[in-house]
Amino acid sequence: MSFEHIFLFFLLLVPFGAFSFLLLTNREAIERVFSQKVLDRIKINDSHLTARARKVLFLIAIFFMIVAMAHPYIENSKTKIKLSGINVLFALDISGSMRSRDRYPNRLEFAKIKLKHLLNKMPEDNVMLIAFNNSVYMISPFTEDKDSLKSVIDGITDNYLAGGSNFTLLANSAKDILKNKNPKILVVFSDGGEKKDLKEFKNILKENNIILYTILIGTKSGAVILDKRNNVVIKNDLAIKTTVNEELGKIAKETGGDYIIASYDNLDVIKLLLKNKDKYNNVNSDKEIEIEERVELFYYPLAIALIFLFASMVSLPNSNSFKRGS
């Protein structure tokens, strides 16, 4: 038998010992006033347990609680599991242009739907999510818990949309995050940003062997940009319009990835990434992790503790009590 928190067990023994000493040596208030001989004459003995016995039972209960907190277990065996998933970094554009409504209900919400569709088809993969505009924000570290991640995605609303898209900063962040990953896969959900901002983005990706997949959100015909109050943004007496920028898709092709302009077809993003997924799985096919199988024992001392705790607080009346009652 082993203990997961053996240090905690020994640490708690010190205050437990001090508490036991004080509890067992401390006399109750009535015992300080009357002698034991007088107490024996006036006491109505309606219980099998003395006060001291109850204290001992209470201390035994606490001791077994400490044992339970130390988390005892028996180790049975270790099982090796082969890894087949891949590591994927998702980046969601939260610039102001994602508020445009050429995709229903707007580009951001449409991108979130596409992202969650893709996560549904990646149960074994380890994914991380960041959001970017003029800055980069970590939304979730690498995880296989897709349900929790989808709940986090639901919390990203258009209240967070602001500024432009800094793709250079995104590329540098992806470089740092993916430096120890193989392959290095970045999936970007964006309307494409400005063409002039993408040159350095492409250079950083290619220098660091980062494979880009792009899900372009928006349409070629475009839509006007809206502010936080959903009013049309005006510049020089003209409404500012934003269209999807396929240059970001061309960069994806150059890095060995691919792109699509997202449609209302629920399978489009799935086909994009998963059609090449087998070649990435082969990279990790020789990796294994060890899973420790063990039998948990903490509930046994916990059950014993509850029994002793109950016994210290409740007892049956003895035979003398029935005689006095009759």
DSSP lists the bridge partners of residue 77 as: 293
Q: Supply the pLDDT for residue 269.
A: 80
Give yes or no for a contact between 29 and 51, defined as CB atoms under 8 angstroms apart.
no
Domains, the chain: 2-77+294-325 (no CATH), 87-284 (3.40.50.410)
Looking at this protein, which amino acid is placed at residue 263?
A: S
Structure tokens at 111: 């991108």
The tally of CA atoms less than 13 A away on the side-chain side of residue 237 is 0
Q: Supply the pLDDT for residue 214.
A: 95
Rounded Cα–Cα distance for residues 49 and 270 (Å): 71
Helix 146-154 to helix 107-120 angle, to the nearest 10 degrees? 170
Q: Supply the pLDDT for residue 52.
A: 81
Distances (CA, A) of 290 to 71, 80, 123, 293, 318: 21, 4, 19, 9, 58
Rounded Cα–Cα distance for residues 57 and 264 (Å): 68
Distances (CA, A) of 104 to 74, 78, 217: 55, 50, 11
> Can you point out the beta strands (E) in 217-287?
223-224, 234-235, 238-239, 241-242, 258-261
Nearest to 187 by CA among 216, 213, 217: 213
Tell me the residue length of the chain: 326
Q: Supply the pLDDT for residue 8.
A: 85
Rounded Cα–Cα distance for residues 227 and 235 (Å): 12
Rounded Cα–Cα distance for residues 99 and 109 (Å): 9
**Residue where the block lists tokens 């707007």:** 106
Rounded Cα–Cα distance for residues 264 and 261 (Å): 10
Helix %, strand %, coil % of the chain (to 5)? 45, 20, 30
Residue 19's φ and ψ, nearest 5 degrees, are -65, -40
Task: Determine the 3-state secondary structure of 302 from DSSP.
Answer: helix
CA angle 317, 323, 326 (to 5 degrees): 115
Rounded Cα–Cα distance for residues 142 and 324 (Å): 72
Q: What tens-digit pLDDT sequence spans the chain (326 residues)? A: 788 888 888 888 899 988 888 878 876 554 555 565 655 554 555 556 777 888 888 899 999 999 998 888 887 766 555 545 789 999 999 999 999 999 999 999 999 999 999 998 888 889 999 999 999 999 999 999 999 999 999 999 999 999 999 999 999 999 999 999 988 999 999 999 877 779 999 999 999 999 999 999 999 999 999 998 889 999 888 899 999 999 999 999 999 999 999 998 877 887 777 666 666 655 554 555 555 667 788 889 999 999 998 888 775 455 554 444 44
H or E segment and range at residue 153: helix 146-154
Residue 233's φ and ψ, nearest 5 degrees, are -80, 125
DSSP lists the bridge partners of residue 261 as: 216
Rounded Cα–Cα distance for residues 156 and 140 (Å): 12
The dihedral formed by the CA atoms of 319, 321, 325 and 326, expressed in degrees to the nearest 10: 20
State the DSSP code for 231: P
Nearest to 297 by CA among 71, 19, 63: 71
